[in-house]
Amino acid sequence: MQYGYFDDRRREYVITNPKTPVKWINYVGTLAFGGIVDHTGGVLICKRDPALNRITKYIPQLPSSEFKGETLYLRFKQEDGYKVFSPYFVPTLDSDDLYECHVGLGYTRIVSEFYGIRTDVTIFVPLGDSRVIRDIQITNVSGQPLEIDAIPVVEYTHFDALKQFTNADWVPQTMQSKAYHDENGLLILIQYAFMNRDTQVNYFTSNWPVSSFESERRRFLGDNEYGTWANPLSLQEEELSNYEALRGDNIAALLHHLGAIQPGETARLITQLGQDESVSPALPAIRRYRDPAQVDRAFDELAAFWHTYLSRLQVETPDADMNSLLNVHNPRQCHTTMNWSRYLSLYQLGFGARGIGFRDSAQDVMGVLVSASKEAKELLRKLLDVQKRDGSAMHQFNPLTMVANEGDSREMEDRPKYYGDDHLWIILAITAYLKETGDMAFLEEAIPYYEKSKDGHPLDSGTVLDHMQRAIEFTQKDAGTHGLPLLGFADWNDTVNLRAGAESLFVANLFGRALLEMIELAQHLGDAEAVARYTNYYETMKQRVNDHAWDGEWYVRYFDADGSPLGSHSNDKGQIYANGQSWPVISGFAPLDRATTALESVYRRLNTRNGIKLSTPGYDGFDPVKGGITTYPPGAKENGGIFLHANPWAIIAETIVGNGDRAFEYYDQINPVTKNDRIDEFECEPYVYPQNILGDEHPQFGLARNSWLSGTASWAYQAGTQYILGIRPTYEGLLIDPCIPRKWAGFGVTREFRKAVYHIEVRNPDRVCKGVKSISADGKKVEGNVVPIFGDGKAHRVEVILG
Ligand code: NOJ
């Protein structure tokens, strides 16, 4: 079974069967204004924060057949009343003659045919704007004239998204709607929570005279809500009631009589769902976007934005699925994670204090640097804003208020209130930013630490470099009985929550990687004292890891507070962890023989045809000492599931030891594009990485969940472009160090770097995995494998021979 296909020429995935196994979504706009559009037209929209300023009510847990957030009804008269249907399939579920959902870059286009009516709807947020536009083109293909009415409908939520579901007294008393009669019979239906009446209103409007409207759900569905979204009783009436809701469940339904549409003729209805302080400041733009030419222009600008965004790095490899992923879908997913962190998806619901994750967004930054370095810098500033004076970091924060918290550690009183890894990721992100941009002045920028006085003033501030140094010093001092870094509440693996005093090998290795970055930076800055200090830290930690954590065939993953290992052959369950092996290679702590032995163990013990499991065997029963990991059955999520985020780290580690065949095997087996042919097993969107796939200890091996918002996006992009294709920014230039399958004859990459374009052609005449024999740039020999910074706004031809 297939539900659609990739249209690489248009950079779209086209869904052709609306009954996908789960909802497949797309993102429109950004966190500044935007959200999710599902493939049957439902939307979850917010402005700046899904928890604190949500606009539409979208309940993912309801069955897929249900109305969610927004729909469109069309109707025409029949002898016994109106035939009412939705061109999005949901919620009326009529049988279609044609259904296509084009999942595009920042837009979704749904094309359908029902009852001789072809509807072509493009849904998008214009660049930098605060409205969702639906450009609805309705064509009569029935062969005879048809009188058609169009009724787009939105359902609002209280702006405090969680309150909507936890308070059924206050919320409905506050929700109100008002009609604003604009020029030429046009209508703007506004909606607000009473406390926001004068400061923040949602609006829904169109470019066609509204003959009547409805703003209360109960009236729209009819019969005291024993009417349904599949068959709203009010749509059997000639007109809606023009009721301005004073409380209750607010909707906006606008009834348009499109009149008699002749065969072949098209009516174009444009709706806008937006938010502003009040109607008056919103009016100029509302009026502008009623003009179809302006909508076309905004859509063209969006297309141009994505064209430029993607053109900054394009690849041409012998593998078509890799090309599709690296040229379109993977960078697009990275853009999405940069915006939404782990905050808003169909699985991460954007309620309460979840907010932007410190470690998550630091890693997301690393996936967008080639195309969105300005936005990345903004995000880095926000992250540094929630770093604490002692160098550790708050775990997450609300982007609207910048109020941060300690994450799940708040739920267990006797556990540390920090995560051992959070603050170290920022070093990787900042140095990646510096290498990409050369913006060394950023290091001198002063940014406050998180702690504030009672009246809200920061208690301390430091330069960006100071923030990095404090992050290192925190971990340097925070050591346990083996001299290894303490775990804190958890490290990258949120679900292993050991007693205070436990040590983490993941943090040890991340510390090692961060130290390598600090050493390289200090060398670049000419700071010999810092080079010596960090080298000393590095060598000491390397020694400790190798003295204590080698288990014979792999490295252990943790030491519990009593000194007993987890991730050792001596354990019954959780004997080996994937990150326990990839990271000692990434940190450079593992000597080559241990590195290859440990990676071999990953292949032998953890690899499956659907990806590398995070650990094995899965814990089989709840154990309060180990915490969250044991709440999952074996094979699910962190408990022996294929947690995709960890896969690119194994890929990177394989490239470091020079095993290009295996690196590519790992890359290919998790490429979502390849899942299109096995979609009944996989179930999620084949155009993005999911967070997790059930492992082979689970009866539903291969089933994916939690698509879109995963660190897999950033790391798979880095693994593909910087380690397999091997093109990495450094302070001195562009490093070329591919590690590819030996059967490849070569590949090409076009990449922007420091204001010049590099057309890189790599040839592999000797069919090796790794090893650069020669490089020339514009015909001149390059010594070593770092191509210089040209910075001249021009294109340069780089020829590389492997061997
Ligand atoms: C998802 C969380 O967002 C991320 O921060 C964490 O590293 C992984 N789960 C693994 O537990």
Q: Please tell me the distance between residue 357's alpha carbon and the centre of ligand 1 in angstroms.
A: 9
Residues with CB under 6 A from ligand 1: 342, 357, 359-360, 492-495, 638
Q: What is the DSSP letter of 411?
A: G
* CB of 595 closer than 8 Å to CB of 535: no
Q: Please tell me the distance between residue 273's alpha carbon and the centre of ligand 1 in angstroms.
A: 33
Residue 670: predicted pLDDT = 98
CA gap 698, 526 in Å, rounded:
53
Q: Which of 337, 342, 423, 692 to mutate to test the pocket of ligand 1 (most atoms within 8 A of CB)?
A: 342
Ligand 1, atom 5: nearest CA belongs to which residue?
Answer: 360
CA gap 313, 140 in Å, rounded:
43
* CB of 794 closer than 8 Å to CB of 755: no
Ligand 1: atom nearest CA of 643 is 10
Which positions of the chain have pLDDT values less than 70?
none
H or E segment at 707?
A: strand 704-707
Q: Please tell me the distance between residue 649's alpha carbon and the centre of ligand 1 in angstroms.
A: 14
Residue 43: predicted pLDDT = 98
Q: Which of 645, 647, 692, 709 to mutate to test the pocket of ligand 1 (most atoms within 8 A of CB)?
A: 645
Ligand 1, atom 7: nearest CA belongs to which residue?
Answer: 492
Q: Please tell me the distance between residue 132's alpha carbon and the centre of ligand 1 in angstroms.
A: 31
Residue 640: predicted pLDDT = 98
Ligand 1: atom nearest CA of 638 is 11
Q: Please tell me the distance between residue 46's alpha carbon and the centre of ligand 1 in angstroms.
A: 24
CA gap 476, 510 in Å, rounded:
12
Ligand 1, atom 10: nearest CA belongs to which residue?
Answer: 493
Q: pTM for this one? A: 0.98
Pick from 194, 190, 183: nearest CA to 272: 190
Ligand 1, atom 9: nearest CA belongs to which residue?
Answer: 494
DSSP 592-661: HHHHHHHHHHHHHHHEETTEE-SEESPP-S--TTTGGGGGSPTTBTTBTSEEGGGHHHHHHHHHHTT-HH
- Strand pairing class (81-85; 98-103): unpaired
Q: Which of 421, 494, 551, 696 is catalytic?
A: 494
Q: Tens digit of pLDDT for each residue in 619-636?
A: 999 998 888 999 999 999
CA dihedral of 646, 590, 617, 558, whole degrees rounded to 10: -90
Q: Please tell me the distance between residue 710's alpha carbon and the centre of ligand 1 in angstroms.
A: 8
CA gap 802, 389 in Å, rounded:
48
Cross-strand pairs, 612: 607
Structure tokens at 82: 């109106």
408 classed as catalytic: no
Q: Please tell me the distance between residue 494's alpha carbon and the centre of ligand 1 in angstroms.
A: 6
Q: Tens digit of pLDDT for each residue in 311-362?
A: 999 999 999 999 999 999 999 999 999 999 999 999 999 998 889 999 999 9
- Strand pairing class (746-753; 780-782): unpaired
Q: Please tell me the distance between residue 403's alpha carbon and the centre of ligand 1 in angstroms.
A: 20
Q: Please tell me the distance between residue 644's alpha carbon and the centre of ligand 1 in angstroms.
A: 11
Ligand 1: atom nearest CA of 490 is 11
Residue 625: predicted pLDDT = 85
Q: Please tell me the distance between residue 493's alpha carbon and the centre of ligand 1 in angstroms.
A: 6
Q: Which of 494, 507, 708 to mutate to test the pocket of ligand 1 (most atoms within 8 A of CB)?
A: 494
3-class DSSP assignment, residue 358 = helix
Q: Please tell me the distance between residue 330's alpha carbon and the centre of ligand 1 in angstroms.
A: 19
CA gap 104, 230 in Å, rounded:
28
Residue 354: predicted pLDDT = 87
